Structure 1
Amino acid sequence: MTASPLALSVLDLVPVRARQTSAQAIAASLDLVRHAERLGIHRYWYAEHHNMPAVASTAPPVLIAAAASVTRMMRVGSGGVMLPNHSPLIVAEQFAALEALAPGRIDLGIGRAPGSDPVISQLLRQSGTTSEVDRFPDNVRDIIALTSPEGASVRVRSLDPEGSVYEIHATPASDASPDVWLLGSSDYSAQLAATLGLPYVFANHFAGRGLGRALDLYREQYRPSAAHPQPRTFLTANALAAPTAEEAEERALPQLRAMVRLRTNQPLRPQETVEDAVAAERGAQPLAGALMDEMRARWFVGTGADVAAGLRELAARFDLDEVMISPIGGAYAGEPLDASPDRVRTLELLTAALA
């Protein structure tokens, strides 16, 4: 049975809305981080996306360091680092340094997708050889070894024909490692996490299909590891809570419209205000249709009690004791640019209802 109370965590894409600068969006995110710790949120993760006008979470390690500096107890991490964009050694060094900065509080969530389009992926890789998708399992193993206190032993035959062994450590004197999680929305990631004996997160906030099968495969095929003798898993969900269902539906519109643009290859833009989104849907620029209805059906939008009940039912259905929400509430034009009042209120209403 699902434990009570349900543990609540946060996935933050650092949304950027109309007339808001990146600096203001990040300030709003750190304000939400502070509230999240005050409210007892279990963990707070930053996603990695690139070249999107409405998303400022381009550099998770930088944002994680900032979040760690304004918190004391809450776990902070990535949801996730998109490994094809990066050298495994760089990722290991960054997260080993974060573990030294906030011992026992760092999660390294790793994903296999690039998090952007092919042009951006090429630009991210142009400085040298990086992690190729087909080497993903080996690169995950390398990161785990490199961030361990023991380090890793490697042979680089391209540099040394004799194949001398090099001892490599992500930091000179680590005594602990970040928790490594695999992220995904497919059978592949679930089965790899099971094979490696790693915790697994299903990216339900943007996928939705295949959730039950992925979790079944993960649990059935799980191979216990020293660090994780039992499978550990949770999922993500888009959520928005407001005092009334009507306000919640209005505040969901900017993100719904943004997702329709993304899925239909329309030009991306900073997130609309609630007023602009409502006016567009009621006027000459509606985006509503089957795609929007399909996405909205998978989101948790309503009063605090209604959203909490939906999350509890979801957790019980898949035998989970934790759900990570992406708080997707939009802002009205008069709300402060360096804060996210609705995202804070979503956490306040849900933590109260789930207690």
Structure 2
Amino acid sequence: MTPSPVFILAIESSCDDTAAAVLQNDKVLSNIVANQLIHTEFGGVVPELASRAHQQNIVPVIDAALKKAEVTKEQLSAVAFTQGPGLMGSLLVGSSFAKSISMALNIPLIAVNHMHAHILAHFIAEEGFEKPIFPFLALTISGGHTQIVVVRDFFDMEIIGETTDDAVGEAFDKSAKILGLPYPGGPLIDKYAQLGNPKAFAFTKPRVPGLNFSFSGLKTAVLYFIQKKVAENPNFIEENRNDICASIQYTIVEILMDKLKLAVKETGINQIAIGGGVSANSGIRKTLKEAEQKYGWKTFIPKFEYTTDNAAMIGIVGYQKYLNEKFENNSVISKARIQF
């Protein structure tokens, strides 16, 4: 007898993207994301504006996800939502809606840790993408997080290294701001870096013991370097933009790789999976793929749409929690900071 399919409605609202997805077991039927362009003029996410935009977007986004998946709300097995970490106002919009759907349809409610979701996005069934085998090392890199995690099972994870100050995404975005590039600047640094010489300018890598990271010193080094060069030549940035971006990106990738090499040495695990918005960066992807040949690693890079904030990754955790009956009641609360 064939078991009945599990249909998970997933909601992600941790920052400035309103997202909904529908999964049938581990397969994504729809993955809808509404971006908030309003933050661009402010050079960063404004929490109050983000939560208001979520309120406007959440109903049409969920409606679009159900329609694209060709699944009715009566077919849903459970609803999963991002509990945290994230912006409190944004999280509350998603959790409130998920609780309402759970009550109205009398289906299980599943709370998901946003960082777990970035890691487990690798387990979405996607043609041409291999799933990692436990245990593996996850490098989770985003605007708010930089972590190396030992992943022993779907629900057994341990952070063995993390940033002591800025996250890697901040290092990209703040460096871009210094160069006069608009927000979000990380993708623009990547774009210009592909046209430049990565060894044109040398930036000192921070000396941080163990597996932890630090990016605030690099940001300061970039600032002082640019101020000095612009004082000598007002057109320095314009004349050297590609090389500056390539050099910044090269330094950041080197910092990440140094820690990964140490993590592999210390744990004996040579399966590496990356996740989070910054894993879309072409320099990081290229260097990781080269590491397969260079160090004998097995590397896993998710499909591009599952790297940035999306609901499909919430749905795959929701599916695993559904199978293990890890449900919540309506007293569950959103958390801006949440225990890993």
TM category, shorter: 0.3 to 0.5
Please, what TM-score do these two structures have when normalized by structure 2? 0.33
**Greater helix content:** 2
TM-score by length of 1: 0.31
